């Protein structure tokens, strides 16, 4: 239970950092690279990261040998789902999609790195 609390504290702190990056993005990036969905994307990545981390922590606790299978499966499904989201938005909003896609990929990289680092810390403790 303490590790879940610790994770959420780290997630909140990291999300404040990501929110700062998002504010800078909105302030200094060209209008071409802006999207009105920026804060929704941040919320989406916070929720998805939290859910995935909880599932992977439970998988690691139940059977450490199956953790790698769970991690690879979830990562593959997540990547495929994100690709579908980007493609659908690109098809629906064509000319406005550039800002969305770039911000989506930046947040994906940030939250994926955060997820891996926190999982490695969790696994080293256990």
Domain boundaries, the chain: 2-125
CA distance 39 to 60: 32
Question: Is there a contact between 120 and 113 (Cβ–Cβ < 8 Å)?
Answer: no
Contacts of 52 by beta carbon, 8 Å cutoff, 6+ apart: 74, 78, 115
Per-residue pLDDT 10s for the chain (126 aa) are 567 888 999 999 999 999 999 999 999 988 888 888 999 999 999 999 999 999 998 888 888 788 889 999 999 999 999 999 999 999 998 888 999 999 999 999 999 999 999 988 888 877
> What's the pLDDT at 67?
87
Q: Which two tokens stand for residue 40?
A: 């929704």
> What's the pLDDT at 123?
81
């Amino acid at each position: 239970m303490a590790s879940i609390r610790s994770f959420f504290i780290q997630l909140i702190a990291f999300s404040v950092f990501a929110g700062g990056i998002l504010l800078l993005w909105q302030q200094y990036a060209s209008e071409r690279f802006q999207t009105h969905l920026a804060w929704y994307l941040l919320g989406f990545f916070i929720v998805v990261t939290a859910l995935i981390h909880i599932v992977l922590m439970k998988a690691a606790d139940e059977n450490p040998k199956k953790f790698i299978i769970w991690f690879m499966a979830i990562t593959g499904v997540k990547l495929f789902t994100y690709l579908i989201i980007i493609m659908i938005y690109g098809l629906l909003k064509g000319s406005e999609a550039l800002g969305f896609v770039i911000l989506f990929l930046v947040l994906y990289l940030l939250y994926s790195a955060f997820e891996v680092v926190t999982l490695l810390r969790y696994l080293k403790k256990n």
